[in-house]
Amino acid sequence: MTGKLGTDPLPQTEIQGRLDRLLEQVQEAGKRQVGYPTNQDFDYSAVLPFLSHSLNNVGDPFHSSNYQSNTHAFEREVINRFADLLRINPDEAWGYVTSGGTEGNMYGLYLARELFPNAMFYFSEETHYSVLKNVRLLNARYIMIKRQESGEIDYDDLYDMVRVHRDVPAVIMATIGTTMRGGVDDLDRIREMLSDLAVTNSYIHADAALSGMILPFVDDPQPFGFDAGVDSVSVSGHKLIGAPLPCGVVLTKRSHVERVGRAIELVGVRDTTLSGSRSAMGPLMMWYALARNGDEGFRRLVAGMLDTAEYAVGQFNERGIPAWRHRNSVTVVFPRPPEDVIRKWQMAPEGEVAHIITMPHVTREMIDELVSNCAA
């Protein structure tokens, strides 16, 4: 029997045929990928030789390990670079390269729960779907807050809910670039709210999956980093940076992590991360991309994405389709098109709206064809 895995090895011709068909399918899909924030334009051929080795970044990247086939040194450089981007002194920062945004969000909320076991957790209905799952896994008390039409959290509803529970610590999940509408929660306003309510024990985690690599490279960013009062931030690596596998960074204050770490004799490491064995390729790829691009490269990349987003809004509007985007956002929102258009362009709809995200691989020619399809 052929066509599926069994007890006997498959013929090599069938194995190669399956792989060739998958590659063709993926290449074709990439030509019309506009709905999800994953950069398709990257080249990691320089790190391919490392796939011939069993690399493992088990444990804390800032401590030595008995397992020496790792990329901890590169991971530390990635963390220190993100500390600069997210406006915290690298000496005061700690973090690690995660499997993506869900793990990064989980880690931030886990730290908050360890610091304040009796806290109430607050997050918007616009928050990434992983957050509800995370707070349930943590068995934390939570209140889901309304969202504004813009995608930002409803500050009045948040104020009312925190006021009711002002006798317990507040853990607030802020979003720096919401998934559907690209809204940026106002960190200054959230901190002022906590101060006004005299909430002395609080923790703010920021999900900056996409915008965490946009706002550091624009001239007039909304508050997004540690200088705006956050305690931890999660940023994705496979989104703006681009990678062939999901990855990301979670960054926090070193003082917070000291509450959760413990030594593990078996592998000679300090256990501070959520996972035990961790990918060593993610840190290596992120290091390579940061090294190749530098600040100027990412600044050009971001400027090009924002320019394409503005072009898309203009093209939609010219055809009578009311599209819009937030300042410093590459997420273009417009009325939900027919299902065949959604499937063709791999869009992410929600209710009556859909969006496209102008990642580096999205060209004006793609926008023109897409707008034409939506207007038909």
Which residues are catalytically annotated? 329
Tell me if residue 201 falls in helix, strand or coil. Answer: coil
Contact 329, 211 (CB under 8 A): yes
SS3 271: strand
**Distance from the Cα of residue 350 to its chain's centroid:** 19
CA–CA dist 376, 372 (Å, integer): 6
For the stretch 79-84, contacts whose Cβ atoms lie closer than 8 Å and that sit 24 or more positions apart, written own/partner, are 79/249, 79/251, 81/290, 82/235, 82/249, 82/251, 83/251
50: exposed, middle or buried (Cβ count in 10 Å: 0-12, 13-18, 19+): middle
Could you tell me which residues come within 8 angstroms of residue 12 by beta carbon, excluding any fewer than 6 positions away? none
Closest CA to 359 of 295, 309, 292: 309
8 Å CB contact between 261 and 271: yes
Using CA atoms, how far apart are residues 158 and 154, in angstroms rounded to an integer? 6
Burial (CB < 10 A; 0-12, 13-18, 19+), residue 73, is: exposed
Sign of CA dihedral 293, 185, 173, 91: positive
Residues contacting 376, CB < 8 A, separation 6+: none
